[in-house]
């Protein structure tokens, strides 16, 4: 099994990442998914199939000093990164080039840009969904019928409801954003099919 097949296997195991952070403030605020959240979800599957990933900064990077609207110092760091996904068994790899930048008022901008590059590479290579637009149901919860469907599939696939809720930052299954219903339904149906084939 080469790197492409292993990445495909991970794609079959995880299909979505819930947005877990508020970026910005006031009218500029929006929901986003953090590097740590993506790593938390993907890491166990990478370990299971034998994939390691590491970033390489391609260029020296550019630091731009500026000011915020309030007159405070602001730093913007920009760089190109090659994010490597490597098969531990045969050393085959997939390399994704990502341009990333980060802004701040301290020396953490370079690290933020690096984390962003790795996060984006993982999201794109694994085609992970992070939820649809707000107007398409990200803020609205699934209805009673959808809750029953997912609850039954979790029973059939021995999926721990509490672990599922914790992973998606919700209190109960019915709190799941409706924009994620289709992705989770497909994932659970795939698990159900795989379990039936093993019998």
**Could you read off the pLDDT of 168-193 as tens digits, one per residue?**
778 899 888 776 777 788 888 888 88
* Parent domain of 185: 133-199
From CA 167, how far away is CA 45, in angstroms rounded?
A: 15
In a domain, 115, yes or no: no
Pick the residue with more confidence: 178 or 53? 53
Domain membership flag for residue 45? no
Structure tokens at 196: 């039936």
- Helical H runs in the chain? 3-13, 35-49, 109-125, 144-156, 161-167, 181-198
More confident call, 116 vs 136: 116
Percentages of the chain per state (helix, strand, coil), in multiples of 5: 45, 25, 30
Dihedral (CA of 185, 187, 192, 196) sign: positive
Q: What is the pLDDT of residues 69-79, one digit of tens each?
A: 676 667 778 88
90: phi then psi, degrees, rounded to nearest 5: -125, 5
Tell me if 81 sits within 8 A of 58, measured CB to CB.
yes
**Short-list 5, 29, 40, 10, CA closest to 163:** 40
In a domain, 64, yes or no: no
Q: Is residue 36 part of a domain?
A: no
35 domain residue, yes or no: no
For residue 113, tell me if it sits in a domain: no
The confidence score (pLDDT) of residue 72 equals 67
Number of domains in the chain: 1
> pLDDT tens digits for 5-51?
999 999 888 876 765 554 444 444 445 678 888 888 899 999 999 99
Taking the C-alpha atoms of residue 111 and residue 146, their distance in angstroms, rounded to an integer, is 41
181 backbone dihedrals φ, ψ, rounded to 5°: -55, -50
pLDDT(134) > 50: no
Q: Is 149 exposed, middle or buried (0-12, 13-18, 19+ CB in 10 A)?
A: middle
Asked whether residue 31 is assigned to any structural domain, the reply reads no
């Amino acid at each position: 099994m080469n790197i492409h097949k292993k990445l495909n296997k991970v794609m079959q195991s995880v299909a979505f990442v819930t947005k877990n952070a508020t970026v910005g403030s006031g009218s500029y605020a929006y929901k986003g998914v953090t590097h740590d959240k993506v790593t938390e979800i993907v890491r166990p599957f990478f370990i299971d199939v034998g994939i390691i990933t590491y970033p390489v900064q391609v260029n020296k990077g550019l630091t731009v000093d500026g000011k915020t609207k309030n007159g405070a110092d602001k730093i913007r760091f920009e760089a190109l990164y090659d994010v490597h996904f490597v098969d531990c068994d045969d050393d085959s790899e997939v390399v994704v080039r990502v341009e990333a930048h980060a802004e701040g008022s301290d020396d953490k901008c370079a690290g933020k840009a690096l984390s962003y590059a790795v996060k984006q590479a993982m999201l794109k290579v694994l085609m992970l969904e992070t939820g649809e637009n707000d107007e398409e149901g990200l803020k609205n919860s699934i209805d009673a019928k959808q809750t029953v469907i997912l609850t039954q599939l979790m029973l059939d696939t021995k999926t721990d409801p509490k672990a599922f809720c914790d992973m998606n930052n919700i209190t109960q299954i019915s709190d799941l954003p409706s924009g994620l219903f289709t992705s989770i339904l497909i994932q659970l149906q795939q698990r159900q099919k795989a379990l039936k084939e093993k019998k």
